[in-house]
Amino acid sequence: MKEEKINASFFFTGDFYENGSFKTLINQLSLNRNYLGPHSDKHLLYCDWKKRDSLLVSVFDFSYDLLVNITKIDEFNLGAHTPQPKFFLPPYEWYNDTIAKWTADLGMQLINYTPGTLSHADYTTIKDKNYRNSETIFNSIMNYEKQKPAGLNGFILLMHIGTGPDREDKFYKYLPRLIRELKAKGYHFQRIDELLKAK
């Protein structure tokens, strides 16, 4: 991304921000003017997978967990080049109306990725039923761009910063190709706060 002179938005758990092994990475992302936001402190599951309106957390547990996540971001003293966290990507990208309201009550805006591609499947391993190899993921993005009237305009494309060792086919190796091909089509990349500033 630095070579292509683009910025992205990174949403990490509190445990990730707290991990000393990632301190240099986080500071570098900030210095390069990427957006850093919360993804919950402990990556909680907020609601039932099969019955989405059934909450699995209380408002206290939700609020405490998110505020601790934000506190750990603040401890980096990121400075003026990195905006204060306003946007929140919920863990598992799974939530309901109540979670959205609780987020707003804390002065935050809940966001999610735009559906339609397989970019979010870049964490899957060959043992998983929902496994998708990187070429399939790449093609799903480019095919969506071709087939939709608006293409990828305003699209929030979610990818994981890293994956477990069981996934040998790393999608991030496709990122330079993806960026170049989308740039060639006239796309510009924006941080989430820039994309949603008019909202």
Closest to 6 measured CA to CA, from 156, 174, 180: 180
Residues of the domain holding 170: 115-191
* CA dihedral angle for residue 64, residue 87, residue 148, residue 189, rounded to 10 degrees: -140
Single residue among 80, 112, 144 that ends a domain in this structure? 112
- Whether the model pTM is above 0.85: yes
Q: Is the residue at 197 inside a domain?
A: no
The 10s digit of each residue's pLDDT in 132-153 is: 999 999 999 999 999 999 999 9
Same-domain pairing of 175 and 105: no
Boundary residue ending a domain (112, 129, 147): 112
Verify that 93 and 53 share a domain, yes or no.
yes
Boundary residue ending a domain (112, 141, 156): 112
Could you tell me the pLDDT band of residue 47, with boundaries at 50, 70 and 90? very high
Q: Are 91 and 43 in contact (CB under 8 A)?
A: yes
Taking the CA atoms of the chain, what radius of gyration do you get in angstroms?
17
| Whether residue 128 sits in one domain with residue 94 | no
Together in a domain, 108 and 144: no
Both 143 and 86 in a single domain? no
CATH number at residue 104: 3.20.20.370
Query: How far is the C-alpha of 140 from the C-alpha of 178, rounded, in Å?
Result: 11
Looking at the structure, do residues 3 and 92 belong to the same domain, yes or no? yes
Confidence of residue 85 (pLDDT cuts 50, 70, 90): confident
Average pLDDT on 154-163 reads 94
- Average pLDDT of the chain, as a whole number: 93
What does the DSSP assignment read for 33-50? T-EEEE--SS----B-SS
